[in-house]
């Protein structure tokens, strides 16, 4: 995703420069603004691929900036705020924010969230179909199948399987699965993932107690087997 343009908006110059430093390291072009009106002007002029937007801004606050931008564009927006109440988070999401980061935050974590949000955009979705042994995930048809037989997955189950098949062999923690597959707005608990994985196995494995596809890595999480199944 190198070359993508990110607009960082915060009234604290040190915060802006720190976030800019980390995003530049990841290869992003970074524009900066310190108030809501300048943020709107830069967003309209430079058409960033993503905006990191502070909630509390002079002149025009982040909620109003977000609300205005949503009338003009579907650019991804990550809100920053010192407030941590659920109501503030919900308000930000309701006006169109894609993600929400509470201060104080790790700039490394914020950079990771930028990557995640950009990865969800249509232009970053990757191939339309991924095959792994007898398992096929078709992103255009929004279905998974084994040996041509469609697996009746729920929306969440399809997202989980899609995440795993994109990186076979990689171990995902429960938190990473929530992040990549379901997003930070997901309100379930980490252990909820265990239930969904169990349901997927029941639908796609010959013997769910001895899975050949989705493996449990005890103490770490889950992965899709690197070795294609020969059945």
- 81-90, 125-134, 162-171: least confident range: 81-90
CA-CA distance, 189 to 183, in Å (whole number)? 13
Residue 229 has a pLDDT of 45
Angle between helices 155-165 and 192-204 (to 10 degrees): 80
> Contact at 8 Å (CB) between 172 and 164?
yes
Angle at 167 (CA atoms; ends 164, 170), nearest 5 degrees: 85
Beta strand extents in 56-203 (DSSP E only): 77-81, 99-102, 129-132, 135-138, 143-146, 149-151
Residue-averaged pLDDT of the chain: 83
pTM of the model: 0.55
All domains in the chain, ordered by first residue = 5-123 (3.40.50.2300), 129-224 (1.10.10.10)
> Contact at 8 Å (CB) between 173 and 221?
yes
pLDDT at 176 over 60: yes
CA-CA distance, 66 to 95, in Å (whole number)? 7
Indicate the pairing of strand 77-81 with strand 99-102: parallel
Residue 192 has a pLDDT of 78
What is the tens place of the pLDDT at every residue in 203-221? 998 898 899 999 999 988 8
Please report where in the chains the tokens 């169990």 appear, as a residue.
198
């Amino acid at each position: 995703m190198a070359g993508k343009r990110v607009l960082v908006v915060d009234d604290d110059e040190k915060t802006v420069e720190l976030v800019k430093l980390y995003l530049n390291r990841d290869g992003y072009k970074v524009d900066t603004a310190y108030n809501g009106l300048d943020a709107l002007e830069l967003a309209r002029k430079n058409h960033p691929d993503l905006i990191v937007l502070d909630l509390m801004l002079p002149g025009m606050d982040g909620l109003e900036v977000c609300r205005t931008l949503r009338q003009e564009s579907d650019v991804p927006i990550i809100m920053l705020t010192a407030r941590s109440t659920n109501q503030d988070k919900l308000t930000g999401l309701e006006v169109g924010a894609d993600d929400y980061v509470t201060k104080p935050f790790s700039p490394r974590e914020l950079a990771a969230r930028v990557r995640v949000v950009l990865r969800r955009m249509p232009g970053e979705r990757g191939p339309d179909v991924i095959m792994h042994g007898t398992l096929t995930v078709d992103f255009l048809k929004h279905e998974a199948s084994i040996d041509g037989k469609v697996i009746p997955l729920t929306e969440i189950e399809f997202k989980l399987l899609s995440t795993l098949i994109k990186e076979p062999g990689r171990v995902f923690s429960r938190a990473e699965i929530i992040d990549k597959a379901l997003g930070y707005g997901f309100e379930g608990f980490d252990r909820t993932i265990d239930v969904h994985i169990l349901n997927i196995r029941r639908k796609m494995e010959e013997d769910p107690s001895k899975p050949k596809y989705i493996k449990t890595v005890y103490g770490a999480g889950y992965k899709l087997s690197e070795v294609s199944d020969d059945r």
